[in-house]
Structure 1
Amino acid sequence: MTITTGAPLAQVSPTALAWGFLTGGVIGTSLAAFVVGLVIDRTPLIVTGVALAAAYALLVFLAGRPRRAREAAVAPSTALAVIESREAFKDVESDVPVRFVLTVAPDAARAYRVEVSQAINVAELPDHRPGGVLVVEYPPDRPWQVRIVKRPTPHWEERAAGARIDRASGPVLLSAPPNGSGGGFLTLLGVLLGAAAVVLLFRADLFDQDSTARRPAQQPSVSITSSTSTVTSASGTVTLGPGRSMLDDGELRRAVGSLTEDGDRGTDRGTDRGADRGTERGGAALTVVVEERTLSVVFVPSDSRAPGFDPDSLPYDRVPALVREARTTLGVDSPRSWRLTAKGATGSLTLRVAVTGPGGSAWLEADGRGEVVRRGPAR
């Protein structure tokens, strides 16, 4: 066998190219799934990303077992080598990593130069000086994977003691042939395609959250309606435009204010302009219901003695935190919707936040200061 340092590069097999593309696809898909799951708060997507990477790693390990078994079954080649140079990485009391440049002289092949790193005991460093002859082993098909034999057989130890080896000519070091640019390109292409597939699949959730966070606040559209002539109460409704949320900074306070700013408390708040309903809207509210883009207020009729509460007394600053706590701590997987209901019929203000997901719903209850007092588990 003749070893030359200038041999042509090994051709990459179609199987290796396919494995490279598949590996890139799995990396891009699992990483994108993990990141997107964190952004849109989807626990199943996060778990899927981690599980996909773990399953593929196991598949690669199992698929490589036959090749590793074949390589282990091949007896290594043994040869003599001379140390051209050595460099210890750090000073320790036991084994120290040492980088060697060796000239390996096989019995039936041309000598070649190779660089190898191996841990050597500090006490044995004097036996590994430049110019010393060693016994080495390497796989016959991978001569660059040289390993220094620490305890050679008596036969090879005797040969090393009396051998004189000239250094290989030229500065070139033998190393593993590169895989070529084709394999790296396909791996990168797989990463990009895998990541793009996940982003496109969940683009609605990603871009909806981004537009909700960045879109400037607009004036809400207000629709104030009264009940029919036989009903003694009035209600107000505010509906926000697309891309906006009642949880945006100051949005809920502005929406409530748009329904209660007409006139003084306890006076006529206005009636339906399309018909004379004979009902007046007072300043106190019976209930306030808040959802993602809608607000509904039922007011206490001016001629009623029913207890109510001032809508301006709602703990506006605590509402986003209460909704976030309900979505993340009540055990509802992938919550799709939420509703906050404020009531004061018992004389004290209470707030209930309910969240609903594919697997059920749950709720928490807070007092007038926005402090959680009770929780209802997912069911």
Structure 2
Amino acid sequence: MKVVALFVNFMFTAFAVKAQDISYNKNIVNELTSSTYWGRGYTNNGMKKAADYLAAAFEKNGLQPLQKNKYLQPFTYNANSFPGKMEVTINGKKLTPGVDFIVSPDCKGVDAKGTLEQVDSVTFVDKKNSIIVVQNDKLTWSAAQKVVPYTVIEINKKTFTETPTSIKANIENELIKNFEANNVAAFVKGTAQPDSFIFITAHYDHLGGMGSNTYFPGANDNASGVALLLSLSKYYAAHPQKYSIGFILFAGEEIGLLGSKYFTEHPLTPLKNIRFLINTDLAGTGDEGITVVNATEFPKEFAIMNNINNNNKYLSAIGARGKAANSDHYWFTEKGVPAFFFYTRGGIAAYHDVFDKAETLPLNEQADLQSLLIAFITDLQ
């Protein structure tokens, strides 16, 4: 009877944690995608505000900083930014930033008007003012560490169907030299082998703002992964493991995996002490399951994950992919640390655009992802 009672109590607790964490995850995504953090990028102090918020979340969840008395690991890099004017008029029609047009992340500012000459079916040039206009079916933005001596403006063919013949543009850019960013790192001390680590990682930065009135929320990319990570940090703070469980939230991912590169070059714990690293990005959907990068590099661990999923039916599918430099796991793998990177498949298609919002992100597999990862980490120890 005592065993039965313990089992019932365990199941009730697990259900309660699961239900609570879904609400918690949604609150995290809502917070990080709000205008307060302005896309967690390079204007309005958005990235620093996010780093401070996340450090406070680790502390509230009961985690220790990975370096003594400091959750933040500072580093710097150059970043092009767009803090002010973002005005484009084509054929006399004013376009809406993010919806009708974007600028190339490495473009210089410009304040000019001119005539556009057609170069090919989708490219138009104002040679006098070094402006290039390109028509695209989807506007996908990014971030850049440099500035080129011309201005590229991409316009949405679906919202602006005319042939561009004239342009007026007032765009302000600022190259920030030695932009100050921070990785945010914490851990739960292991009960038996505290010097050995399993890490869970995600990047928290996004693209920031394009002009003073438009920002990119970054709900799926990657407030979703941050939410999953913070939820797991709550769980492990309440359930310490044999190994220490470390958590790193990286900055500078969108501009070139810079935060994870810096961490591997200046590790806060010896890299040889990391048993395994699990990186999560784009964790907000999952209708079609997940894809695991490095699955072919670490077939034993991939088989463990698949066996857990097959037995518990958490996700509809777990797809295998080889080595790829497409997220923050990469630099760890290059340094000899075994690592997986997983991302969800199916659902909404918003990515690096102004439509990647909290209100349209389902987070429908976050609870199952958490259960899968907890079981996987248990089997790794």
Structure of greater relative contact order (alpha carbons < 8 Å, 6+ residues apart): 2
Larger radius of gyration: 1
TM-score greater than 0.5 by the shorter chain: no
User: Which of the five TM-score ranges fits, normalised by the shorter chain?
Assistant: under 0.3
The TM-score, its normalising length taken from structure 2, stands at: 0.21
